[in-house]
A and B are shown apart, each in its own frame.
Chain A
Amino acid sequence: MEQLKDIIINTKDNIEQVTEMFYQGKNQEGFLKLIDVIDSLTCIVNEIEELDKEHKLNNETIVLTSLLNEATEALINKDTVLLADILKYDIADVIDSILYLISEG
């Protein structure tokens, strides 16, 4: 669980950075950093599957997966502002609530 917490905190930082880059039109840098964010999010989903035996985080996992699909669509459309919005407001919220739930035990 501690490892998952660290990943989530780290991912939140990375999301802030990616968002900043996309809002500032620094797309090249944003896309490079985005790779780290996607890797971390995939890692979060995998870790939850591994650790969440009681399926307490089922709902969050579903929302996160759905948001990742939306983000992918924004990525395909090269809509970097929407991508940043989804990361900053939606995905960040979900991983916040995951962090809360796992901290609560």
Chain B
Amino acid sequence: MYYELNLQKLHQYRGILYKHVKEKEAVAGNTLNIYSVATRTEEFALVVEKENQVIRLNSKYNPKEEAKRWADQYQIKNLDSVIVMFGLGNGIFVREMISKMKDDNLLIIYEPSFELFLYIIRNYNMEDIIQDSRICLFIQDVNEFEFPSLLYQTLTWKNLFSKVECVHPGYDKLFEDSLKVFKKAIIDNTFNNLIAKNTQEEKGIQVVKNTLKNLVYIPDIITIWDIYDDLPKDVPAIIVAAGPSLEKNVDVLKKAKGKAIIFAVDRSYGILLDHDIEPDFIVTLDATKKLKNCGNKKGFEVPLLCEFNSSPAIMDNHNGVKIIFNCNEYIANIYEKFEKRFYKIGGGASVATAAFSICVNLGFKNIVFVGQDLAYLGDKTHAGGQKSNNNSSINLYVEDVYGNTVRTRHDWYAFLRSYENAISQLPDTNVIDATEGGAKIKGTRIMPLLEVINQYCTKEIDVKSIIESKEPTFNRDEIKEIYHYLADGKNDLEKIKVLANQAIKALYTFEINKKLDGKKLTKKIAKISNTIEKMQIYPLIDQYVIGTSSNEIEELYFITNDRKTDEEIAFKNAGMIFKKIIDACDFILPLLTDTMNKLMY
């Protein structure tokens, strides 16, 4: 009845979802008996029969009143609040939720049954829901693989605690297993975001410092995009992590040398050196990584895949080619300015997940994990007999590669889920787990390393000569222009300090004279903030401020609905943040000057 109209709206407003729906429509399941019954209020109630169970998804008396009562229990009051809802139903409950939403809210709907979704779009007018840009829609077996990454992008540490989680009545009884998956994705997202927040808090300032220090290497560096076309995609990429199982099969890796591309994550480099294996690349990520945790070899020459803010202890002791795989916005703008091929890649939270992301982005069709335990082996945490010293970690238990249960840590658990989410989005990539132990990573094929080498390592490859043949990304003239870009940044810092001081003064004047107009001040502060945010140096300032004031930023998202109180909280936190912006300028200025001096010579 409404099928054509709904499809047309899907096509118009949700093109990718429309494409997926059309592709999968013919193979949709047929396990449910779905029908609608008239209600006393002359609407329709949705009824689903599954395994001899009859579940009505709406009141057959007054569905709107039922939905209103149901929605009354949820309060959406904070800025950027995200509502995560399990089940689309016939739209009656969704509409009640929408009626409570403001423009900055987002409603993420996870529909666990494609079969039910098809029935709904055939029998109910869903036009308004489809075209509402505040709604994201995920349908199991259609596009649910995008659900975790959207959660990660929208439900961050800033608004995590303003989240509203709800289940469409009846869906909990019909789709119990899917509900578990849905809830697990939300819990995993909370884990990942809290880890990300901790990392930003712990390392925010260090990241700014490293970025500025590492800028001195810009005349010689290349990026992964410079080597993208030169690396054959059919050769296996072996990622060697330093999990305790690495000791079992590290020597087998020798057979892969020259027939696969070996990526050693920083900590595993030392183990490989002990076994006379030279990897093709070393991957490093951590802003504070020590050389002793990356081979402990001064002047090492193996090509280094690094972020622009990787630890200077590693960067400064490395004499080979540095290959950038990620950077913050400040550096990314330089690549954009000179029209260099550069895309920021999502790396996950660990160096191993970053190595995986690099391999995926380089387009390898066969990616092999070695030493990727993501679990304890007895009480060992890493190869080389290292034991846990992370007393604050939470123990969790997951399935291992043999189907038993194995102990893991909350950070490894987050990495495990990060892999699984990524793999689920890579239907054309063959991901093999040749760790021979540790946690089971869903979506990988489990194989012993020797078997992998015999089956896949059949072609010779000389990575060294490929890398040595590359010219730096920027030529000498471009480096001169980059110098000017940095000089402009120095000028911006002075301007930002003036603006931030103006904001602080205005906030102070308001504080001592409460009769002043709060709305006027809000406008003034917003104008100053917008001017600062447009400056090219701002991404570094932002990183510094997040690293030092995440709690104040978090508080800016909470509102009480009492205008006076909200103003007071917002102004108080804004004042703190502007002070931090001035601190950031004072912190960045000498580092930037030093780098510019070094670049000149």
Contact = CB atoms under 8 A, between A and B. Distances in A.
Interface of A: 19-20, 23-26, 77, 79, 81-82, 84-85, 88-89
Interface stretch (B65-73, B117-125, B555-563): B65-73
B187 to A, nearest CB: 19
Contacts of A26: 73
How big is chain B's contact interface, by range? 10 to 19
B66 A23 contact: yes
Given A23-B66, A89-B61, A89-B62, 17 more contacts: A20-B72, A23-B59, A23-B69, A23-B169, A24-B69, A24-B70, A25-B169, A25-B172, A77-B54, A79-B56, A81-B66, A81-B170, A84-B59, A84-B66, A85-B59, A85-B60, A89-B40
Contact of B73 (A24, A77, A82, A89): A24
Interface string B35-66: 00000100000000000001010111110001
B409 to A, nearest CB: 34
B450 interface: no
A interface, over-half SS? helix
B69 A82 contact: no
Nearest to A78: B173
12 contacts: A19-B69, A23-B66, A24-B69, A24-B73, A25-B169, A81-B56, A81-B58, A81-B169, A82-B56, A84-B66, A85-B61, A89-B61
B167 A81 contact: no
Among all A-B residue pairs, the 9 with the closest Cβ atoms: A23-B69, A85-B61, A24-B73, A89-B61, A23-B70, A85-B59, A23-B66, A81-B59, A24-B70
B62 to A, nearest CB: 7
Interface string B10-52: 0000000000000000000000000000001000000000000
> Most B CB atoms within 10 A — which of A20, A25, A26?
A25
Nearest to B168: A25
Contacts of B167: 25
A82 B60 contact: yes
Nearest to A25: B169
Nearest to A19: B69
Contacts of A82: 56, 59-60
Interface in B61-96: 61-62, 66, 69-70, 72-73
Among A20, A79, A81, A82, find the residue whose CB has the most chain B CB atoms closer than 10 A.
A81
Contacts of B169: 23, 25, 81
Contact of B69 (A20, A77, A79, A89): A20
Contacts of B40: 89
Nearest to A90: B61
Contacts of A89: 40, 61-62
A82 B56 CA distance: 8
Interface core residue of B59, B60, B62 (most chain A CB under 10 Å) = B59
Contacts of A81: 56, 58-59, 66, 169-170
Contacts of B70: 23-25
B519 to A, nearest CB: 37
Nearest to A20: B69
Contacts of B62: 85, 89
B40 to A, nearest CB: 7
A14 B528 CA distance: 55
A31 to B, nearest CB: 15
Nearest to B57: A81
Interface string B393-415: 00000000000000000000000
Residue among A20, A25, A82, A85 with the most chain B CB within 10 A?
A85
A81 B70 CA distance: 11
A89 to B, nearest CB: 5
A88 B62 CA distance: 10
Nearest to B173: A78
A26 B170 CA distance: 12
A89 B170 CA distance: 20
Contacts of B54: 77
A20 B56 CA distance: 17
Contacts of B61: 85, 88-89
A81 B214 CA distance: 63
Contacts of A85: 59-62, 66
A65 to B, nearest CB: 20
Given A81-B66, A89-B40, A89-B62, A24 B72 contact: yes
B66 to A, nearest CB: 5
A85 B60 CA distance: 8
B44 to A, nearest CB: 15
Interface in B154-185: 167, 169-170, 172
A77 B55 CA distance: 10
